Structure 1
């Protein structure tokens, strides 16, 4: 009886919630304008607000004139004051948390999260689940066990501000209606060594009635492979009631075939787009592509066309929601209720719908290959690989693209390091088709191959678990760590060459 009431209540909550969200879907442009003026008014007396004359900001254009696009290095002096406990610096009062992330140029980054920002993070995650329940018209999974594969929930304090990985912070805010059935145990969650932690999760969960599993795709795959190795069964055999997988952090599509093979049966998947800086979007329809952009969750968005990003004129090309075009790549710029102002997060998005606004995450501003002027981005290589995998009976675990500028002989080329789960029967045709698909998606690369500046791409095969071993060797195994799909140099390639 209790189980029936629990899932019935969840279904009612979900349907009521989805009805309410129709308002922000229909009023996104106005909501965004109102939000920005609310944010600047609220932060008027902060140090950042005084420096940038927030009291004189009456419009989006005023804001863009007074507040330049910034990265972490430019906000770092303000954040350092916050780390010392100073109040009213980027946002009113002091942050509720610092989310500690790994930076390539800045060392560790400390991203402030306000009380309001944390509420938006957890509210967005709940909204994603409620949209799924309402669409599916069932909440059966709430009576089973749920696992959230995440970083350690252990937090340290810096001048009274709790600090840790975002996934560890979020672990303290799991809704009460999910807490009772949540796994793994706190003791397991606190294990720092990632492989040891996954092994412990396997032992805790293999005999349970798992109905929901959440995590980023590479580490879900690692967890599933360990379960299968121990039990000799596909995941749906082990967990026949598994209904839902929630994933985020990286594009799911390149992992889809591998995940389906490990699952061995139908499981619904919701893709999400969270980060330490905010929760930006989620798949509000699990049967359709595209993530619903959250336009009333404390974040004001700007979009810089990728061809202008990082250029001297980028400030002249800061677009708002009503100015974006479909199927064009934009650097994502954020202003948040945690005190990030015109902040370049480093993600690239493209809109596939404007009613409501839906996006795909198409890459990272720093992750591209353009050693020869081609500026190939992640979305292009992922779509090319997806097409090749669908054309040929093959399966991949992971891949990385790097330029080979100085080959021992012949023309330079793009080198793709690929870890195959199942190799194509005709390797040469697969390689040729992959090249053709990338050429379709990037005209500059096509011109370089046609003009004999580059020869067609070359695939270098890697041994099984090569990418896990790479991550381990770099101290980046587990948590929210992601290996870039492509690079403009051979730093990652040189390490991967150890695993040929």
Structure 2
């Protein structure tokens, strides 16, 4: 064992002992975070507008601070962009993470000194937790790659603007910098195809041990490596041990990844966003991600099927139930207050508190009252893949409300890497799995309101071509898994087979 690997084990043990305090007392940790947030922001513009001085508990907070999305927070963000201090959080943010918005164009999410520290520590702790759990630290001696956006930034009124992954690139610890790829110059390449080709050239002869990124874009990197060398990635990188990912559910990609790699590797799922780092996978043998309750974020939860009701109830961590779909609302040390991040989660454990990401509060199908969510279609896809030995590159689902003839149905747009051994069984497994998971969908099928789902095959690299056509190829961009309208479906018809 190298000196670096030995030191990593000692550090991992120290951090595990430190984190055990909030893991074993998550409610107490959340109460402490809540009080610190309110106290720190009491004299900000937002704090004065919402009477933070009178807030003593969560009930007071709910009365003073409504749930907001970015559009409703935007007036405060614009004050900061104009140069004003003490608006959402004391002083000015260090950064604005620039993200794509659907209704507002670009969104600017503030990142402060304490919030970036929490983001960096969470990323570090996810890896240290893996070392502590498995005893494996040998990978620290190899090369590590993080597929991410450009680290180049603009500046406005003393605040730097950039993508979250690019901002994070500035905080890689010194002891990892010499192990890290790609080079700064390659990371700054904006065109994703050009960038991935350059990454292939830089990494193909290196001892890669850790690879991280959104699965769909890592898959593109793996395919280019395989096409160039006619080898499995696991044969090319014999010491490749750990895949770190976030942003989308890995399960629909797992079979394809194992085929590209040629063997299984350990994986760590993360739940980061521009708004904060919320959770990471803390066990190789159990599902779910550990919710970070001591990372400068106070969590509230609203049942997803009640979210759009005027009297929807906001609860805290102590009142959550298992296996209920919740919209997650956050207040943070970056100055986001009662903020709807748009993601939905389900708790699968309360000792410790562990979650899975179930979808987006605005991404669902309920054209007929079925309330289908991302978690359900992803599980159905996993079941169908297992049943028929298929491999799927990408997929999305939309309702077909006005078919040329017959009953309406759900339409699945699928790009197969390897077609099912039995297409009829694949379709039937998809549909049956969805019926088992969703009683509303079952009732609609049984009641002859909907007919069985149908599949549209998408040509090879069709999803990639679509993303390129809208300027969202690579980086943190990802395909919307399902939608309640036909906008994405109609766009994909240009890339269908037949």
Q: TM-score, normalised by structure 2?
A: 0.99
Which residue in the other structure is 1:29 paired with?
Answer: 27
Contact 1:335–1:343 under 8 Å retained in 2: yes
* 2:73 paired with 1:75: yes
Displacement after TM superposition at 1:305 (Å): 0.3
Report the equivalent of 1:319: 315
- The counterpart of 2:91, out of the listed 83, 86, 93, is 93
Residue 409 (structure 2) pairs with residue 413 (structure 1) = yes
**Distance between the aligned counterparts of 2:433 and 2:422, measured in 1?**
17
**Alpha-carbon separation, structure 2, partners of 1:311 and 1:195:** 44
* Aligned partner of residue 358 in structure 1, secondary structure: strand
SS at match of 2:348: strand
For residue 205 of structure 2, what is the aligned residue in structure 1?
207
Distance 2:414 2:142 in 1: 37
Structural mapping, 1:103-182, within 5 Å = 103-182=101-180
Secondary structure, counterpart of 1:409 in structure 2: coil
Residue 276 (structure 1) aligns with: 274
Match of 2:485 in 1: 489
Match of residue 436 from structure 1 = 432
Alignment TM-score, normalising by the size of structure 1: 0.98
1:102–1:108 CA contact under 8 A, matched in 2: yes
Partner residue of 1:219? 217
1:474 Cα deviation (Å)? 1.1
In 2, Cα distance between equivalents of 1:6 and 1:454: 59
Q: Distance in 2 between matches of 1:497 and 1:477?
A: 18
CA contact (8 A) 1:33 1:60 kept: no
Counterpart-to-counterpart distance in 1, 2:420 and 2:381: 13
> Which residue, out of 453, 460, 485, partners 1:457?
453
Match of 1:86, SS state, is coil
Pick one of 289, 292, 315 that aligns with 1:291.
Answer: 289
1:302 to 300, 303, 307: 300
Partner residue in 2 for 1:253: 251
In structure 1, which of residues 240, 243, 264 is the aligned counterpart of residue 241 of structure 2?
A: 243
CA distance in 2, matches of 1:97, 1:29: 30
Match of 1:428, SS? helix
* Corresponding residue for residue 10 of structure 2: 12
SS in 2 for 1:381: helix
Q: SS of 2:218's equivalent?
A: helix
Deviations 1:125-179 (A, max 9, x none): 0000100111121311111111110000000001110100000000000111211
Q: Which residue of 2 aligns with 1:394?
A: 390
SS at 1:307 equivalent: helix
CA distance in 1, matches of 2:318, 2:188: 45
Task: Report the more deviating stretch, 102-111 or 29-38.
Answer: 29-38
User: How far 1:307 sits from its partner (Å)?
Assistant: 1.2
Q: 1:476 aligns with which of 472, 476, 487?
A: 472
Partner Cα distance (2:295, 2:191) in 1: 34
* Alignment check: 8 A CA contact 1:37 1:57 kept: no
> Given the alignment, which residue of 43, 62, 65 partners 2:63?
65
What secondary structure is seen at the aligned counterpart in 2 of 1:37?
helix
Find the counterpart in structure 1 of residue 39 from structure 2.
Answer: 41
Give the Cα separation in 1 of the matches to 2:167 and 2:285: 30
1:198 paired residue among 176, 196, 199: 196
Secondary structure of the residue aligned to 1:151 is: coil
Determine the C-alpha separation between the residues in 2 that align with 1:177 and 1:255.
32
Return the offset for 1:221.
Answer: 0.1
Counterpart-to-counterpart distance in 1, 2:251 and 2:127 = 20
Q: What is the CA distance between 1:330 and its match in structure 2?
A: 0.1
How much does 1:38 deviate?
A: 1.1
Q: 1:426 aligns with which of 422, 442, 457?
A: 422
Candidates 462, 465, 469, aligned match of 1:466: 462
How many angstroms does 1:287 deviate by? 2.5
Counterpart Cα distance in 2 of 1:482 and 1:236 = 25
> Secondary structure of 1:79's partner?
helix
Describe the superposition over 1:258-296 as per-residue Cα deviations: whole angstroms up to 9, x where unpaired. Answer: 111111012110000000000000001123211000000
Structure 2 counterpart of 1:365: 361
Determine helix, strand or coil for the equivalent of 1:272.
Answer: strand
Match of 1:334 in 2: 330
* Paired position in structure 2 for 1:377: 373
Q: Do the aligned partners of 1:249 and 1:480 also contact (CA within 8 Å) in 2?
A: yes
What number of residue pairs does the alignment pair up? 496
Query: Shift in Å at residue 495 of structure 1?
Result: 1.2
- Unmatched tracts of structure 1, length 5 or more: none
SS at match of 1:313: coil
Alignment partner, residue 265 of structure 1:
263
Alignment partner of 2:395: what SS? strand
